[in-house]
Structure 1
Amino acid sequence: MTSDASRRGALIALVFLTLIWSYNWIVMKQVLQYAGPFYFAALRAVLATLVLFAVVVLQRESPKPPPWLPVVLVGLAQTTGFQSMVQWALVDGGAGKTALLAYTMPFWVLLLAAFGYGDKPTRRQWLFVALAALGLALVLEPWHGMGTLGSSLLALASGLSWGVGVVVSKRTFAKTGISPLRLTAWQMLAGAIGLCLIAACVPERAIEWTPYFGAALAYNAVLASGLAWVMWATIVQRLPTTVAGITSLAVPLTGVLLAWAILGERPGAVEAFGIALIGAALVGISVLKK
């Protein structure tokens, strides 16, 4: 395959990946009509684990587990923490708003690197963080009382949890040289165990095994957690880091638009301005790093 054809294929994959992950916020919101948040998150993670290990076998990668400590840490942060809090936030929060707040992950990574590892942000990066903080204040609108503030804080906490997983993953890659697919599969297994324990301990409504619920599970396991990660590996391999990083911007903003079009989640003027500020800050963090 020529380099031009390879690049075109990766760009097509980028478009599909953005649509898959963006639309999944609608799926995760609507599936709560048929199951509790923790039951669904646990089932999704278990099925996604099976899909990812199948991909590992098909890619002929070694199934040997990496060091257990980073695997457990990443699994608890990136799968157990992130998925449980996101799905819980969606019970009362809108799909678009939850997506946007969860995807504040790049800001948390920046702050964790600054205060945990001495990797000081530049003045421009601090400016983007301040811009994002202003946008968050406008989106949360705490002056209107609690309302859905609880779900918004859960979504923010999920972004922090994801950020912890990213930081630990980067350190693990640097120390062990493990492939992203192999680490993703094993951390998904560790995270799925954590989600199953939560689902077993928290009383929830019984699952309604409707066609939509089955389709939502399949969408999450095969597309959002299986095929999407294979496409992501292709994108990272074939496209510049800056281009690949646009995905972390496109997914939440597309999620906001889809929630507006499909679920009627139309933001007010103040919230819309806050969303625009967060979007601008995400561009700065993800694309304009220098």
Structure 2
Amino acid sequence: MRALSDASSKARLWAALGIVVLSLLWGYTWVVAKQALDYAPPFTLTFMRVFGGALALFLALKLLRQPLRLQAPRAVLLISLCQVSGFMLLQTLSLKFGAAGKTAVLVYTMPIWTLLLAWPVLGERVRGGQWLAVVGILTGLLLIIEPWNLQAGWLSNSLGIGAAICWAMGTVLVKKLRRHTRVSLLSLTAWSNLIGSLPVALIASIANEPPVLWTTEFVGIMLVLTLISTAFCWWLWTSILDRVPAWEASLLVLGTPVIAIVCSRAILHEAFSRYEIAGILLIGSGLLLLSFVSWLREQRATAT
């Protein structure tokens, strides 16, 4: 029993350190992706990130000696279109027209859209404190969007929320797939990136965008986005999910946009209006409440 307890404690400590590292890396990624748009147009950049990430993930699978076989191709196709093609395109366009920190906050409202989409798709009803979190996050979004102010960057805001909804739909589809099929999350991510890169490549080919400005700095940025932000971080994320409950891993959702905001202010000198600050605080509080409600449910289930 003591050995099991020590192993569990080490797993949680490892996961906690992993969440800190992921928050830092994925938070800073928003700044790097914003800088990348100075060298490459949005559709081309999206394809390079997704396809490059796919190659890096397949290399990681090979090195880790995990299976490369594509499972449930129809389900993976839908996941790819939502969680990769739609999510990455809308996210990059939102970054193109808006601030990195605010875009990160909008995209990381994903858990609330997952909660709402899981109701009709998976039959998981929204209950109790979850409704309070829904109201808080939606109110925060309203303050960030500022519909009463026509100069508030409505295009970037809409694209950011659209990216969050695409990510949430992909998450729900992954959850639905894993209910009846045992599938490696790392392998699923690799195939999703590869398949999802195809529609992005088609759009980029017909968009008549300006050429990429190839410099040493841009090559370094792309290596960070593909090898570190995609391959390494996704491997770390799947490792964390295998060691701790989902609610605990979801705390990453709180850390990443905070790091993105701090980095965007320090490096890109982005500022926020008082409405945006209030909205960000409400969204953060709602996400924290969602994690707390999930923790309470797990404790009750364990006790039962």
Check whether TM > 0.5.
Answer: yes
For residue 222 of structure 1, what is the amino acid of its counterpart? L
Choose 249-258 or 21-30, whichever is displaced more.
Answer: 249-258
Equivalenced residues, count: 290
Residues 134-173 of structure 1: per-residue CA shift (max 9 Å, x gap): 1111111111115411110000000000011001111111
**Could you tell me which of 195, 201, 207 is aligned with 2:212?**
207
Structure 1: 5+ residue stretches without partners: none
| Rounded Cα–Cα distance in structure 2 between residues aligned with 1:110 and 1:39 | 32
**Per-residue deviation, 1:264:** 1.4
**Could you tell me which of 250, 268, 273 is aligned with 1:268?**
273
Residues 102-130 of structure 1: per-residue CA shift (max 9 Å, x gap): 11111111111123333210131111111
**Per-residue deviation, 1:7:** 3.2
1:185 aligned residue: 190
Normalised by the length of structure 1, the TM-score is 0.96
> Contact (CA 8 Å) 2:54, 2:194: kept in 1 or not?
yes
1:232 aligned residue: 237
User: Do the aligned partners of residues 150 and 71 (structure 1) sit closer, same or farther apart at CA in structure 2, a change above 3 Å counting?
Assistant: same
2:302 aligned residue: none
Tell me the percent identity: 34
Across the aligned residues of Structure 1 and Structure 2, the Cα RMSD in angstroms comes to: 1.5
1:54 aligned residue: 59
| Rounded Cα–Cα distance in structure 2 between residues aligned with 1:111 and 1:24 | 27
**Could you tell me which of 6, 17, 35 is aligned with 2:40?**
35
Residues 57-105 of structure 1: per-residue CA shift (max 9 Å, x gap): 1222221111111111111111111111010111110000000001111
> Contact (CA 8 Å) 1:46, 1:192: kept in 2 or not?
yes
| Rounded Cα–Cα distance in structure 2 between residues aligned with 1:109 and 1:259 | 26
**Per-residue deviation, 1:8:** 2.8
2:132 aligned residue: 127
For residue 60 of structure 2, what is the amino acid of its counterpart? V
Residues 174-202 of structure 1: per-residue CA shift (max 9 Å, x gap): 11111111111111111111211111121
Matches within 5 A, 1:1-40: 3=7, 4-40=9-45
Choose 58-67 or 68-77, whichever is displaced more.
Answer: 58-67
> Contact (CA 8 Å) 2:94, 2:159: kept in 1 or not?
yes
1:63 aligned residue: 68
> Contact (CA 8 Å) 1:249, 1:286: kept in 2 or not?
no
Matches within 5 A, 1:48-197: 48-197=53-202
| Rounded Cα–Cα distance in structure 2 between residues aligned with 1:271 and 1:82 | 23
For residue 121 of structure 1, what is the amino acid of its counterpart? V
- Partner of 1:142, secondary structure, is coil
Residues 230-282 of structure 1: per-residue CA shift (max 9 Å, x gap): 11122112233332110011111221121122211121222101110010011
| Rounded Cα–Cα distance in structure 2 between residues aligned with 1:71 and 1:114 | 21
Normalised by the length of structure 2, the TM-score is 0.91
**Could you tell me which of 214, 221, 245 is aligned with 1:216?**
221
Runs of 4+ in 1 over 6 A off after TM superposition: none
| Rounded Cα–Cα distance in structure 1 between residues aligned with 2:188 and 2:231 | 14
Choose 230-239 or 79-88, whichever is displaced more.
Answer: 230-239
Structure 2: 5+ residue stretches without partners: 298-304
- Partner of 2:126, secondary structure, is coil
| Rounded Cα–Cα distance in structure 2 between residues aligned with 1:53 and 1:157 | 28
| Rounded Cα–Cα distance in structure 1 between residues aligned with 2:76 and 2:247 | 27
- Partner of 1:238, secondary structure, is coil
> Contact (CA 8 Å) 2:121, 2:172: kept in 1 or not?
no
| Rounded Cα–Cα distance in structure 2 between residues aligned with 1:7 and 1:111 | 29
| Rounded Cα–Cα distance in structure 2 between residues aligned with 1:191 and 1:231 | 21
> Contact (CA 8 Å) 2:122, 2:176: kept in 1 or not?
no
| Rounded Cα–Cα distance in structure 2 between residues aligned with 1:124 and 1:228 | 31
